[in-house]
Structure 1
């Protein structure tokens, strides 16, 4: 218990310091999120990954807080996925490569002895999809970090209920590292999470859910898994449906995620992050209650209904998603001549 508190405190402080230290090198090296209207360096995720692996590794090495069976492999696979994401941040990398790498890492960590073959295959697909869905949340200041912190605490509570102390400590370290990162990522963000940090966080959280639900029946497990990741699922579902309705390529980036649409509806960036963070807290709480057996799986249907309603409304609103076309120099000079004339 005391080590968990000390580890979380150390992770928070180290992540805050490293995120600040990585900003200038990222700017000089041009490691930027080019989707933004301002230069946003992307090495914040590397700070989260490095701190999490360091603190968790110290606990494992000293045997003060051993990670437990399979959790060390989970962390190693997550670090490998983070490395792949870092390559995507540094250079352009096809989405299919990210998908293939995440699937391979997920196939390595799934506990097939407890899930069975069918459950294991479903778990591999879920981990890959959830990791990529969480990567999609990194489109607005503070959003991915906020949802990640809330989800890590929820999954950590499920792990503690299963007496998986090593996994619970790892999740508390992830939550603390993300909190330290959020000190620099709240609007206006000074550093971003990037594919490195977002894939790492999504992989750890989704794999941890699989670990905590291994051995349970498939139906209740689906309800818990969905509730613990409802916001990421809603964002991914919204993007898929909106691009399908608009007949736009699915893998082409565009401002059509939850945060973008809430901004166009008039919400401030901070308000959007807080609203989606509160929605994540509500759904995660339902997931924890269902996992602990304090409420029936029918409660997850309310979460599913809310997600479906929000996605349907935002798709039907059809608010524009295309960026305004850049103004050419000829148009600018012509506009100035009109004004000066």
Structure 2
């Protein structure tokens, strides 16, 4: 656990420092979010935060290879992690070109497919699913590659889509990565196997990267991650989940904390977790496509009717809207992990209490404390000007 903490801190520190360099590169190359009619931010803000994030991930990778425990792990731990970082560098490069030159959607999609192809070529793809009665469903290479492509591309675009408020995407993905780290670590502890896994390493590094970037990106943001960052962290999040199916046996994943055979949830978690974590932005994406299509507009035509816009409309400040969506992301992510590893009334009582608290924060807090009229330190800390960065879709 201590070495994973080192990985987290290295990723956070390097990302924090490189963000200043990335901002300067963005200003020199013209990768700047200009102020448009549909935007609320009052001045241009640089992109290319993905460069700093990639630097943080790479630094964590090389440091981890020298740590006493992680350096002695299975050879596949770092070979798979290296493949994920190569695919991440590829998709980050596509995002950098988009941040500078504004690539068309088809070109970006092509870059995403190439990155998935690199993952599949490196052996990182879904291979099997299984039922609680020990029946295993094997996938042939074509089926596994197709499912891998669907999950990765959907996650990449969902993260890109949710990057609509300062700190929103980085916070959601950072919380999700922490939840998945807990899952990976607990799986190894419960089954008494090697604690060093690709999923745990990547999720710890990804959480650190998001924390380091948030210092510069939380409202008011000094830098946007841009497509270079949103596509990178989306790919790493989904790929870290996929590595669980390549490095754990079906027996390991299926065994619950009480030693009994688990239900369907943990067996489907590598597929379900990226979707469940991003269920709010994915739902927002579907609603946006339906809304725009019904209005006779392109599904990719931006508007201001997303969920985070609605939170602003009902009385939340910019910062508070972001924190509310972090709360929902954390609730979904950690509830999924808890339900997959543990059973009993305490688990469901904890999840129910979290759900009730999230509802109160979402709908009651804006009634009690309007932005600019906060009566308590929490509301004052979370209140801020209703400024908003450019939307990515």
**Does the TM-score normalized on the shorter chain lie above 0.5?**
yes
Which residue in the other structure is 2:332 paired with?
Answer: 283
Residues 166 and 221 in structure 2, CA contact (< 8 A), matched pair in contact too = yes
CA displacement, residues 197-220 of structure 1 (integer Å, 9 cap, x when unaligned): 110000110111222256577983
Partner SS state of residue 148, structure 1: helix
CA displacement, residues 285-313 of structure 1 (integer Å, 9 cap, x when unaligned): 122123325479xx9xx99xx9xxx9xxx
Change (3 A) 1:113 1:141: closer
Residues 31 and 42 in structure 1, CA contact (< 8 A), matched pair in contact too = yes
Mapped pair 1:152 → 2:165 = no
* 1:122-271 to 2 correspondences below 5 Å: 122-163=147-188, 165-213=197-245, 220-221=268-269, 222-271=271-320
Change (3 A) 1:282 1:88: same
CA distance in 2, matches of 1:130, 1:170: 16
CA distance in 2, matches of 1:64, 1:76: 24
Partner SS state of residue 70, structure 2: coil
CA displacement, residues 59-111 of structure 1 (integer Å, 9 cap, x when unaligned): 23678635345222112111211111111111111111222221232233244
* 1:20-31 to 2 correspondences below 5 Å: 20-31=20-31
Higher helix fraction: Structure 1 or Structure 2?
1
Instruction: For structure 2, list consecutive stretches of 5 or more residues without a partner in the other structure.
Output: 72-76, 129-138, 189-195, 254-263, 360-393
Change (3 A) 1:240 1:2: same
| More divergent stretch after superposition (122-131 vs 111-120) | 111-120
Which residue in the other structure is 1:324 paired with?
Answer: none
Query: When the two structures are superposed, what TM-score results if normalisation uses the length of structure 2?
Result: 0.69
Change (3 A) 1:122 1:290: farther
Which residue in the other structure is 1:320 paired with?
Answer: none
Partner SS state of residue 70, structure 1: helix
| More divergent stretch after superposition (86-95 vs 245-254) | 245-254
| CA shift for structure 1 position 241 | 2.3
Question: Aligned-pair RMSD on alpha carbons?
Answer: 2.9
Which residue in the other structure is 1:44 paired with?
Answer: 49
Mapped pair 1:60 → 2:65 = yes
Mapped pair 1:102 → 2:112 = yes
Residues 162 and 212 in structure 1, CA contact (< 8 A), matched pair in contact too = no
Matched positions, count: 301
Which residue in the other structure is 2:127 paired with?
Answer: 114
Partner SS state of residue 130, structure 1: helix
Query: When the two structures are superposed, what TM-score results if normalisation uses the length of structure 1?
Result: 0.78
| CA shift for structure 1 position 167 | 2.7
Which residue in the other structure is 1:79 paired with?
Answer: 89
Residues 140 and 260 in structure 1, CA contact (< 8 A), matched pair in contact too = no
